Amino acid sequence: MIRFFPALFLLSLTLACGGGGGTDETTQPPPTPDTQNPSIPVNIVATMIDQTSIALSWDASSDNVSVSAYGIYRDGVSVNTSNTTTYTDNNLTANTAYNYQVLASDSAGNSSSLSTTVSFTTLSAVLVASEFKTSISVANNIVIANGMETIEVTVQAKTIDDENLIQGGDAVTLSTSFGTIGDITDNNDGSYTATLTSSIEQGLAIITGSINGKTLSAYSGVANRIDKTDIDFIALASLGKLIFEDTNLSEPVGQACASCHDSSTAFVDPDSDQATSLGADDIIVGKRNAQTAGYAAHVPQFQTINKNVPIIIGGQFTDGRSVNLKEQAKQPFINPDEMNNFDEATVVNKIKEASYVADFEAIFGVASLDDVTTAYDQIAQAIAAFEQTNIFSPFTSKFDDQVRGTYTFTDSEQRGSDLFFGQLNCDRCHSTPVELGEQLFSNFEYSNIGVPANQTLIAARGNFVDNGLGDESLESTDNGKFRTPNLRNIANTAPYMHNGVFLTLREVIDFYNADLANNPEVNENLDSGGQYLFGGLTETDKNDLEAFLNTLSDQ
């Protein structure tokens, strides 16, 4: 018989199941918590800045496990996090400085200290027309016209209060009337630079531009000057002199360029009693007074500049119909009122028979006269070179000597100068902005000052109205406008005005001292406001003003 002992059975069952026996088991300690901070972010830079955004980048921080995020602080306040090493801060205010710090964090919640503070400034807001001014400056106002010499052009953006802007980012364009402008560099400080390469022809380079699509009111000028000591230029100008003085180049023969532009009379027609010059046939008279060829090389080429509003300046002839000196030289040969040749080929054929044909071919090549178009252009090029010499532009007047400090005005001349530049405001039109080069006493702009018709001219040519610039532009708003003439040698270049209506300088002064609306030839577009009216000049005033104008004559 087997007796059953419940307690003993339970004990045996427990031992058999390993309740206190079998293999020993080691207890694992809890894991060590991650308390190591990531390294501090370094090399924080701005990779992009505009008016409302700053893009940041930095070097990755190190950590014993891994960095999970970066915190971005702006001006000491947390603004966002990034799980990369870049961040773009948006919706900022233009032209405002912001301070940034970055810290690194890992998944355990450990964080580095804040980085060193870096500061960046957003760009100025894109300017509109009423909010900015600019200046354009050049490193030098003269370059040699060889197609190689360069100078630096700088545009400085300014506020409407004429303060320099200190941030870049504006859209700037530049253009030039002579030579070429290279790529523009944004200096990120409100200034922009570009390189101007000279032209191969002499002329005044007018540099204009725009900022954010708005045409600049500022402009600058660079004179592209021929090296007059260059042997090739000397040869070309010498050839031009021969052509300029050749009386065989008209039809019939007998009239040269020099016939109406005589060096002994400041390069105007020596017959100053005639309002306009006779043509080659000694019958036809021209419609316009023969303007002086003196200093013509310093007149800028025909173009529009911006002086708050578009302004046409420059060009040869009083109506600007020739853009530059070379193009002007082509016209008299085939004008029936002047040298009266049938066409360009006729002129070229006469050059072929000239005594200086060998000089022409030595410069331009043996077969250079075979192509009429090319040869005619070269003829004009030679004349233009001659007109660029100091013979035409000596700058040897008493006025020049006074500026140089080698002459002192008489009392009368000084009083006349004071009237000219002061009370009478003559320099409103008769003063050359420094941007346009040498002082020629002209702003080269076009206006209608109410010059009366020349009845003698009308009797000789029939009843006609000379609309000046309006006949070239075909714009009624230009009717009656003529380019402001230069006043150098004005005492020696009678008759005066585009139609030669005044035979003496005193008549011109009396015209300005009278009523502007006294029977103008063109009664449109008169310059209003009385700026041209002197009024009340005494005889002494007139004498003094004339004395000053006499100081503009070369000696």
With tokens 């197609």, the residue in question is 147
Question: pLDDT tens string for the chain (555 positions)?
Answer: 444 444 434 334 343 444 444 445 566 777 778 889 999 999 999 888 877 899 999 999 999 889 999 999 999 999 999 999 999 999 998 888 999 999 999 988 899 999 999 999 887 665 444 456 788 888 888 888 888 999 999 988 877 777 777 766 678 899 998 889 999 999 888 889 999 999 888 778 889 888 877 777 777 888 888 777 777 889 999 999 999 999 999 999 999 999 999 999 999 999 888 888 989 988 888 889 999 999 999 999 999 887 778 899 999 999 999 999 999 999 999 999 999 999 999 999 999 999 999 999 999 999 999 999 999 999 999 999 999 999 999 999 999 999 999 999 999 999 999 999 998 989 999 999 888 888 999 999 999 999 999 998 888 888 889 999 999 999 999 999 999 999 999 999 999 999 999 999 999 999 988 855 568 899 899 886 444 566 789 999 999 999 999 999 999
What does the alpha-carbon distance between residue 78 and residue 56 come to, in Å, rounded to a whole number? 15
- Coil, strand or helix at 82: strand
Name the DSSP class of 272. Answer: T
**Ranges for all domains in the chain classified under CATH 2.60.40.10:** 45-121, 129-225
Q: Is 2.60.40.10 the CATH number for 45-121?
A: yes
Query: 398-550, what's its fold?
Result: Cytochrome Bc1 Complex; Chain D, domain 2 (1.10.760)
- Coil, strand or helix at 322: strand
Largest CA distance in the chain: 171
With tokens 């502007």, the residue in question is 516
- Coil, strand or helix at 499: coil
What does the alpha-carbon distance between residue 400 and residue 398 come to, in Å, rounded to a whole number? 5
**Ranges for all domains in the chain classified under CATH 1.10.760.10:** 231-293+321-387, 398-550
Helix (H), strand (E) at residue 105: strand 97-106
Domain 129-225: which CATH number of 2.60.40.10, 1.10.20.10, 3.40.50.800, 3.40.50.300: 2.60.40.10
User: What's the 3-state SS for 339-382?
Assistant: CCCCCHHHHHHHHHCCCCHHHHHHHHCCCCCCCHHHHHHHHHHH
Q: Which numeric CATH code is attached to 231-293+321-387?
A: 1.10.760.10
Cβ of 22: how many Cβ atoms within 10 Å?
Answer: 10
Cβ of 415: how many Cβ atoms within 10 Å?
Answer: 18
Rg (CA), the chain: 40
Sheet (strand 118-121) strand order: 77-82, 67-74, 97-106, 118-121
The predicted pLDDT at position 2 comes to 42
What does the alpha-carbon distance between residue 493 and residue 403 come to, in Å, rounded to a whole number? 23
Q: What is the DSSP string of 116-169?
A: PPEEEEPPPPPP-GGGEEEEEEES-SEEESSS--EEEEEEEEEETTSPBP----
What are all long-range contacts of 136-140, with beta carbons under 8 Å and residues at least 24 apart? 136/174, 136/207, 136/208, 136/209, 136/216, 136/218, 136/219, 136/220, 137/220, 138/196, 138/207, 138/220, 138/222, 140/222
- Of 212, 123, 120, the residue nearest 167 (C-alpha): 123
With tokens 């013979």, the residue in question is 391
Give Cα 136 distance to the centre of its chain: 7
For residue 495, cis peptide bond before it (omega within 30 degrees of 0): yes
pTM (whole model) above 0.75: no
